Structure 1
Amino acid sequence: MKYFFCKFIFLFLIVGYFDRLPAQTLNIAKKYLQSDSIKWATNITLGGTLLQQGARSLSLSNSFNLVHFGAKNQTQLIAQLNRGRAEKKDFIHNGFIHLRYTLRHRKKLSYELFSQAQYDHIRRLSARYVAGTKLRYHLKRSTKLDLALASGMMYESENWLLLTDSVLNLQTINSYKSSSYIHFHTELSPTLDWIAIIYYQARWDNFFKPRVLLDSFLVLKITKKLSINLNVDLWHDANPIVANDRWIYELTYGLGLTF
């Protein structure tokens, strides 16, 4: 674990900024994007996760989101930790931490620098490090609807503990990939927001066998600071490292506090 966070800090110094799951901060971003003022916003979510990934499990999920809205640029920090038990014997232990920096975030065309550090002990993913950049174009932005496209490239380094001849060996896989997404955010009612993002990530030499991810969020606002959050993640990898990782889905629910 110590090595994991030391390497994360090293990546931070090189890249400068990190990214993962922008939808997690969108529910606290909308009210500030309509203003020219410079603000900080924080969102903390405590809840649980029902996860189907080979074995079914119930775990606790904790996340922390911090966003700075500048006059021209925007910075985001997101961290999450999940721990629990699967089928009463397999221990769940995964998490991630990331930062993201967006230049000209109020304009139709903006530029993102991003990276990510994460681990998932259940899947034998010792560590994954991602760094890259994207151009993002807003097709529409209003208080009721936010629609955007983004495309760019990223570098991915994964450390897997793979079973070979009954022995676990650490294998490192490095690759350059294209990385694109479509982002959709709408206000279904004054108290209910829906956010959906579809990612398409693929190696340059195997573009039509991608990793496709869907992040879908429902945010029910109880008060100005309190909300109930429901998140559905769907993951499909055409070339998974672990065979049973071709399809993964995750349902996360929690109580969010924004300030």
Structure 2
Amino acid sequence: MVKAKFLISLVVILSFSQVVDGQVLNIERLRLERDTSTSFKSKITAGMNIYNRSSAASEPVNLFGYNVDVNTLYYPGKHAFMGLAKFDYLKVNDDDFLNFGFVHFRVNYFRKKTINFENFVQYSYDNFRGLHPRLLGGGGIRWNTFKSKSLSLVIGVGALYEYENWTHPETNQTIEIALVKSSNYISFRWTANENVDINFVGYYQTGYDSDMSAFRNRTNASLILNTKIAKRISFANSFDISYEHKPIVPIIRTIYTFKTGVSIDL
């Protein structure tokens, strides 16, 4: 049985490591990763895993999973439109192991100006952590503080309305909460030279919960380091961390993801 559990864990880590996310969706990081000079760009990625290799006939392990990513950017002129969607599902035997997804739409008005504006709406769920659904909508000011060929700094200040429906993991009690929140971020990008590129994005959201007479805070940070060590060899490293100050239900407050990989162009 231990061997079966190890195999399940290994498959989960290799196939579904991308689903480790905080409740703060890091749109600014996605914007950096998918920056483009073309007016329209869309990418759809889908995958499926079916697995039934077991250690013994008495210990069956049947795994089924799928993941879908949709990313669309449209720059018709002065404004920008962004649509993002992600769905990840994993079932082990008769149990839903992971079930996570979101749909996000955002409009950036007068995107090339130093001071510009954006509006957004989002639907998301994370059944593994007891969240279904999360609905939000809001807007804010985006300040292109500094931008050059090698360096950029963006600061965003805004507000949103958020509704969440949580299920307590022990009592199965349903808890609903709706808050008006301040939503802020900072985005920094530095291309040190042709071989080193660094991206950092930090988010901070806070809202006052009158039921507990206190603020609920959420933070998220992403650091991406891309290095080229040879003409055809490069490394990509990323670290993401999210912190939930006062969770609605008892869940792990801090979650993180570290990814590293090597790319070889033949």
- Corresponding residue number in structure 2 for 1:243: 250
Following the alignment from structure 2 to structure 1, what is the Cα–Cα distance between the partners of residues 195 and 90? 31
Q: Deviations over 1:150-169 (max 9, x none)?
A: 111100000111256x4x23
Query: Aligned letter for 2:175?
Result: Q
- Corresponding residue number in structure 2 for 1:12: none
List runs of 5+ in structure 2 lacking aligned partners. 1-24, 48-64, 229-233
2:126 matches 1:120:
yes
2:41 matches 1:26:
no
What is the alpha-carbon root mean square deviation over aligned residues? 3.4
Query: Aligned letter for 1:79?
Result: A
- Corresponding residue number in structure 2 for 1:159: 165
Query: Aligned letter for 1:143?
Result: K
Residue among 176, 180, 189 paired with 1:176: 180
Q: Deviations over 1:206-256 (max 9, x none)?
A: 7865211113334579xxxxx98654321111111122331111346799x
The within-5 A match list for 1:36-115 is 39-43=39-43, 62-84=68-90, 91-115=97-121
8 Å CA contact 1:146, 1:186 repeated in 2 = yes
Query: Aligned letter for 2:109?
Result: L
- Corresponding residue number in structure 2 for 1:8: none
**Structure with max Cα Rg:** 2
List runs of 5+ in structure 1 lacking aligned partners. 1-18, 33-37, 48-58, 222-226
Alignment partner of 1:245: what SS?
Answer: coil
Q: C-alpha displacement at 1:203, in angstroms?
A: 0.9
Residue among 184, 189, 192 paired with 1:185: 189
Which range is displaced more, 197-206 or 133-142? Answer: 197-206
- Corresponding residue number in structure 1 for 2:12: none
What is the aligned residue count?
Answer: 213
Following the alignment from structure 1 to structure 2, what is the Cα–Cα distance between the partners of residues 188 and 145? 8
Query: Aligned letter for 1:203?
Result: G
Identity %: 27
- Corresponding residue number in structure 1 for 2:61: none
User: Structure 2 length normalisation: TM-score?
Assistant: 0.68
8 Å CA contact 2:179, 2:208 repeated in 1 = no
- Cα 1:119–1:209 shift into 2, 3 Å: closer
Following the alignment from structure 1 to structure 2, what is the Cα–Cα distance between the partners of residues 85 and 230? 29
User: Structure 1 length normalisation: TM-score?
Assistant: 0.70
Q: Deviations over 1:161-219 (max 9, x none)?
A: 1256x4x2322111101111111122244365432211111114678652111133345
- Corresponding residue number in structure 2 for 1:143: 149
Alignment partner of 1:22: what SS?
Answer: helix
Following the alignment from structure 1 to structure 2, what is the Cα–Cα distance between the partners of residues 25 and 44? 16
Q: C-alpha displacement at 1:113, in angstroms?
A: 0.2
Query: Aligned letter for 2:179?
Result: S
Q: Deviations over 1:60-79 (max 9, x none)?
A: 76532110113210001111
